[in-house]
Amino acid sequence: MVKLGETEEGGEALMLGLMQDFPLTVDKILDHAARWHGDREIISRSVEGPIVRTNWRTIHGRAKQVTHALQTLGVRLGDRVGTLAWNTANHIEVWYGIMGMGAVCHTLNPRLHPDQILWIADHAGDKIIFTDLTFAPMLLANLHKAPSVEKVVILSDEAHRPEGAGENVIMYETLIAGLPTDAVWGGFSELTACGLCYTSGTTGDPKGVLYSHRSNFLHTLITLQTDVIGLSQRDSVLVVVPMFHANAWGLAFSAPAVGAKLVLPGPRMDGAAIHELMTCEKVTLSAAVPTVWQMLLQHLDAAGETITGLKRVVIGGSAVPEAIVRSFKARFGVDVVHAWGMTETSPLGTIAAMTADLEELPFDDQIPYRLKQGRPPVGVDIRLLDDEGKTLPHDGATFGRLMVKGPIVVKSYFKGKADVIDQEGYFDTGDVATIDQAGFMQITDRAKDVIKSGGEWISSIEIENIAAGHPKAELAAVIGLPHPKWDERPLLLVKLKAGQTATKQDLLSFLEGKIAKWWTPDDVLFVDDIPLGATGKIDKKLLRARHGDHKLPTL
């Protein structure tokens, strides 16, 4: 590649374009929202209880107050400031207040174990942590485990100050009260670090992904494409996916970028609370992991309620079950859009938008494609490699390691020793996938969860998705157990719906004909609990620890 100031072979100097140097920094997104969509509302279910309303203009002013406060507290360019908070307008103000001044907003996941949260805060070197009343007792009790943290700001007012809180605890409303609602933002390179998010740590120690302003800005533009999330100013967007989980899939950037109305569920993500916000705020689009939608559908069944006005739900984080896609369409006319991504990809990597050819098909024939994780948008490239690094065909059947490349994809981890990309710039996602002739990628497993039987691979995800469709099943999970002859064989774990009973044979008959015969689980166990990890995915590590010594009848 010819670099700036260098001369190409043959003597031609690189010619630069003559357009403006306009660093792609995220403060410009909120500036834009305040200036052009100032009255558009942001509604939050507050941690204190009531539903509170604000707008982009007010959020902008308060975010600038946060910047002033941080500067007074000694935060400088590049310093890390943590947030351990629900999705609320306050949290958005804090994000922009931190990022706008060139500090790094580090979202901490409260669903992790306290030791892990404090380990991550300390590893990141967080100076200050903004937190909700919900997490303040846990954080304050464990603060000694993260010596880098000097102050804790609680996102509430003096009336809610926890008893006995020391001098290092500041209440948010007191912190920003009376400060100017204008402050200088930006003025630094678009390559400046902007956000930090640690991976869920299902594969060893959590690793920090350090987003730049440029990568977040480009991710915003990528997700705004019609065939991606495609928000509009007219949308009312309910962001259930937490801001601490891979940047709420970019919605805290893309909503202000287009001036959409934002609806934030705060601490309540149960079916009734979500349904109330959806109805009262005329929500048109929402995004969350499958378990949230399962809870909502169960609530609607139990309460005999319906959904109106909702047009699309974006589902990702784990594979979307067929029953959800069908239910939303048949009962409410809502399109489920299945997406794949990871913390390392900002997060959106692929999305199962229908192509012109598929759009012509009846809904039933579209289903196999809607259940896949989809195709990459411009700016993201994917490919499949085998273990020797050979590129695999797009035939919809050959499994391979999913590799991803682009300006929104990690190059190396925070404080990591080396780059984590191959010679051609691709990052190994750790997912195993197929890509079909229409370009639709399908995740078959995490590399470490795939079941290796007789030299071939069995997709645990595929079996569990089908099993979860059994009318009596609430959740299903499949793990591989060691087997002397085959290397590994699948064990199916099923949590039944309350009050239901079923036999091993019921489940196996249900799978028959839907999967290859040799994929049939060697045994079925009915369990009371299928644990979910901190980002709503089935915790296979824990399941292997719990059931790893189960004796298969085929042994």
The residues carrying an active-site annotation are 199, 344, 452, 457
Q: Are 137 and 152 in contact (CB under 8 A)?
A: no
Stretch that binds ligand AMP, among 46-54, 100-108, 110-118, 342-350 (CB under 6 A): 342-350
160 interacts with ligand AMP by CB under 6 A? no
Residue identified by tokens 């102050």 is 151
Torsion, Cα of 462, 466, 469, 475 (10° steps): -50
Which of 67, 107, 318, 434: binder of ligand AMP (CB under 6 A)? 318
For the chain, give the number of residues: 555
The residue among 299 and 446 lying less far from ligand AMP, judged by its C-beta, is 446
The residue among 257 and 342 lying less far from ligand AMP, judged by its C-beta, is 342
With CA atoms as reference, report the closest residue to 279 among 305, 304, 253, 308: 308
What is the rounded CA–CA span in Å between residue 127 and residue 232?
Answer: 37
Binders of ligand AMP among 518-547, rule CB under 6 A? 535
230 interacts with ligand AMP by CB under 6 A? no
Which of 97, 230, 317, 377: binder of ligand AMP (CB under 6 A)? 317
200 interacts with ligand AMP by CB under 6 A? yes
267 interacts with ligand AMP by CB under 6 A? no
246 interacts with ligand AMP by CB under 6 A? yes
Q: How far is the CB of 450 from ligand AMP (least distance, A)?
A: 11
Per-residue binding letters, 345-384, with ligand AMP (x by CB under 6 A): --x-------------------------x-----------
Q: How far is the CB of 267 from ligand AMP (least distance, A)?
A: 21
Q: Are 461 and 481 in contact (CB under 8 A)?
A: no
**Count of positions on this chain that bind ligand AMP (CB under 6 A):** 21
Q: Are 154 and 170 in contact (CB under 8 A)?
A: yes
The residue among 82 and 341 lying less far from ligand AMP, judged by its C-beta, is 341
CB-facing half-sphere around the CA of 20: CA atoms within 13 A: 3
Alpha helices in 281-361 (DSSP H): 290-303, 322-332, 356-359
Containing H/E element for 256?
helix 251-258
Containing H/E element for 129?
strand 128-131
431 interacts with ligand AMP by CB under 6 A? yes
Report residue 294 as tokens.
Answer: 């399962």
Stretch that binds ligand AMP, among 267-275, 391-399, 425-433, 492-500 (CB under 6 A): 425-433
What is the rounded CA–CA span in Å between residue 441 and residue 434?
Answer: 6
The residue among 430 and 531 lying less far from ligand AMP, judged by its C-beta, is 430
The residue among 45 and 372 lying less far from ligand AMP, judged by its C-beta, is 372
Q: How far is the CB of 430 from ligand AMP (least distance, A)?
A: 6
Cis peptide before 362 (omega within 30 of 0): no
Q: How far is the CB of 352 from ligand AMP (least distance, A)?
A: 9
Strands 169-171 and 193-198: unpaired
**Positive or negative CA dihedral for 105, 107, 113, 114?**
positive
Binding site for ligand AMP (CB under 6 A): 199-200, 246, 316-319, 338-343, 347, 373, 429-431, 443, 446, 535
